[in-house]
Amino acid sequence: MNYHEICLQVKDLARRTGLFIKQEREKSGLNIEVKGKNDFVTQLDKAAEKKLITELLPLIPEAGFIAEEKSVDKQGDVYNWIIDPIDGTTNFIHGLTPHAISIALQEKGETVIGVVYEMGRDECFYSWKGGAAFLNGETISVSSAGSVAEGLIATGFPYSNYALLDRFMQSLEYFMRNTHGVRRLGSAATDLAYVACGRFDAFYEYNLKAWDVAAGAFLVQQAGGCVSDFSGEDNYLFGQEMVAGNKAIFNEFLTDVKRFMK
């Protein structure tokens, strides 16, 4: 399997799909559906997902799909694409950035390709197994911050699952008081891409889905960072919780997150 070649094709597909989304929004506007409390989908989420699936299928015909809008019900024995056609749909609905296309490829449960295309800034982050991590053709790496106190932290606010809200708010206060600040952009895929390129130093969030974070987590690792669940284990794709950061601060940051969130 030539991961490099496939990654470059996926990168180009993500850009084409972003252009498709922009053009269709300008032409047809938005038809918004409510999936659950504060959980929205538009006709463009569905149309973009179908476009992605249609164009990814020929690349690896035997591959399955894990996709947010469930346009296809097929899982592969070896290869699976994990895709989110618009991560940050609420931002997208309100005309805000960031909102991003997230595409990851797994081989036997290991992520081998990750692409995040943030449409608002026209920034494409991508990497493949055995390669470096890139942003629009330039190599990227995680930040050099040496402690949590020196870090800018990204997170996502709970919007439907408030089971850990009290603990999360305590963690938020701690990081507000003991870091350079906390940011909430509204797109986990973008948050992780920004950790990968050093704009953020660390990230944590709960109630995540695999399609939100599969590509971004891979980018962080490929750019020299670390990723885990809140227990420091590897169940971050399907365990609905994630901590990410550069290697210098990761253990300290994980300890802080665990103190509040476990």
**Token pair listed for 49:** 């997902």
pLDDT at 159: 80
Residue 155: CB partners within 8 Å, gap ≥ 6?
Answer: 172, 175, 182, 183, 184, 191, 203, 204, 205
Domains of the chain: 3-140 (3.30.540.10), 148-261 (3.40.190.80)
Q: Cα(192)–Cα(91) distance, rounded to whole angstroms?
A: 17
The DSSP symbol for 163 reads T
Say if residues 37 and 160 touch (Cβ distance below 8 Å): yes
Say if residues 241 and 261 touch (Cβ distance below 8 Å): yes
- Classified as helix, coil or strand, 193 is helix
Q: Cα(108)–Cα(96) distance, rounded to whole angstroms?
A: 36
Q: Cα(10)–Cα(30) distance, rounded to whole angstroms?
A: 26
Q: From the first residue on, what is the mean pLDDT of each consecutive set of 10 residues in the chain (262 residues)?
A: 97 97 84 63 88 96 91 88 95 94 98 98 98 98 98 92 93 98 98 98 97 98 98 96 98 98 92
> Which among 69, 85, 81 has a CA at the least distance from the CA of 117?
85
pLDDT at 161: 85
CA quadruple 60, 64, 69, 72: dihedral positive or negative? positive
